[in-house]
Structure 1
């Protein structure tokens, strides 16, 4: 992929740092604390015609683009390497198109990045009793998801006929494959109900991992056309004394740190948030 000029290049260059991989993840993500939240801030720029938002940026993030950007920065030493990793982490077969982007965590982002040895699911290692691990399943209806898109999902020049472009995009739904998704999780109630369980999790985890919030078969068919399993993600930092969730928070409106126990406890009355999945950064 030929690297196109990007208005955020100068700011991205300032975020590169030296060190071992996990320490770079922590350093870079810390530099981004306080940056504003924006849903779906990235697109394919001029590489594709449907979402021409910047391919990368440094000013605003949602939960996934925050994680993608930090990993890519930590893997790279220059802009060309950074762009390569942004492509590799978030697109099938390294093709920067709207339909090859990893739109769904449990059937796109997770399995593809596990296959490329970027992450590894270590959820089963996070509890003493394997029977505590639960599985979430959902039917990911990619075809119906595409049909639910509106002209608001298209980020293109004002001169473009969005209705015509949307019709073209939706006509490709038959090329998409629907599939059953599954993901392992540790129940929230197990983590927050026992100091022993929380301490075991603390002792098992490396200094930084990826944590995904699991809502089994989360029914968003009336909103986006499909059910999901994963509602949110961020980095989980372990300093040996506490676990800190560093994430792009829609509620707070920026990238923030919050202790994991406090975060999960705040959802105690929300029965839809069932648990967490943990991915090791390889």
Structure 2
């Protein structure tokens, strides 16, 4: 049985690879975090015993930059999860391509490095309707959302990404990715271009998963909180891509490098 590490066992500020390793084996729980008891989403604002794919990324990122527990790593986590660090459901960066990525890129906290391997890129254009998502999934918060963001309307989210086919079939594909990973751990956003999820959540989306890519020798590791496996763990990324190479909707990855908070 997996037991969560105590704060004293977590290698704060020793990098994403070291911090994330402490959580291998942690169970996967969808929507693991919220705004705390009494809120619209009463899940805790932080936890170490379970994750979904995004809360795993966010928690490890916050811990990798915090010197030690007393330096309030949870404050870093809230800066990552919320617009201007304000803990409120309508301030949460719900959509990766529309909210999470642009916000942190503007702050200089992350950099999209998908172009850096020098491989041909594919394009994703997906119109995301946040108001329709609130109406379908969280109608109790729709009025608050509209009051905070009265001018919000469906927005086209544009992304470049590397296809699994390009990485696997191009003779230089995997070597170029390894060269990029020699510079450090990367975040992989998994792209489903213009994914039709309207009948389920009210809007289309384009990013369905997130994980860390880590180079171990010549091997590329995907470290992620996996709903399929039900836990945080490592997988051989080349084998992972092969399994999804001909998938109907999951097509490739966006590469992101962490810079700061």
Kept after mapping to 2: 8 A contact 1:202/1:240: no
Query: What is the aligned partner in structure 1 of residue 221 from structure 2?
Result: 244
Query: What is the aligned partner in structure 1 of residue 11 from structure 2?
Result: 17
Unaligned runs of 5+ in 1: 1-9, 151-165
Q: How many residues align?
A: 250
2:142 pairs, out of 151, 155, 170, with 170
Query: What is the aligned partner in structure 2 of residue 143 from structure 1?
Result: 131
Deviations 1:238-261 (A, max 9, x none): 134121100000000001111111
1:60 aligns with 2:30: no
Q: Report the Cα offset of residue 276 of structure 1.
A: 0.6
Query: What is the aligned partner in structure 1 of residue 174 from structure 2?
Result: 198
TM-score (ref. length: structure 1) = 0.83
Kept after mapping to 1: 8 A contact 2:192/2:251: yes
Kept after mapping to 1: 8 A contact 2:10/2:22: no
Q: 1:144 to 1:79 in 2, by over 3 A?
A: farther
Q: Report the Cα offset of residue 16 of structure 1.
A: 3.4
Kept after mapping to 2: 8 A contact 1:126/1:186: no
1:264 pairs, out of 241, 244, 250, with 241
Kept after mapping to 1: 8 A contact 2:195/2:205: yes
Where does 1:1-282 land on structure 2 (aligned, <5 Å)?
A: 11=5, 13-17=7-11, 23-46=14-37, 49-76=39-66, 77-128=68-119, 132-149=120-137, 167=140, 169-175=141-147, 176=149, 177-178=152-153, 179-205=155-181, 206-282=183-259
Runs of 4+ in 1 over 6 A off after TM superposition: none
Partner Cα separation in structure 1 for residue 108 and residue 145 of structure 2: 30
Kept after mapping to 2: 8 A contact 1:188/1:275: yes
TM-score (ref. length: structure 2) = 0.90
When Rg is computed on C-alpha atoms for both structures, the one with the higher figure is 1
Unaligned runs of 5+ in 2: none
Q: Report the Cα offset of residue 94 of structure 1.
A: 1.2
Query: What is the aligned partner in structure 2 of residue 160 from structure 1?
Result: none
Partner Cα separation in structure 2 for residue 36 and residue 189 of structure 1: 31
Partner Cα separation in structure 2 for residue 234 and residue 137 of structure 1: 22
Deviations 1:191-221 (A, max 9, x none): 1113421112111232301011101011111
Deviations 1:108-146 (A, max 9, x none): 111111122221100001234xxx112211111010100
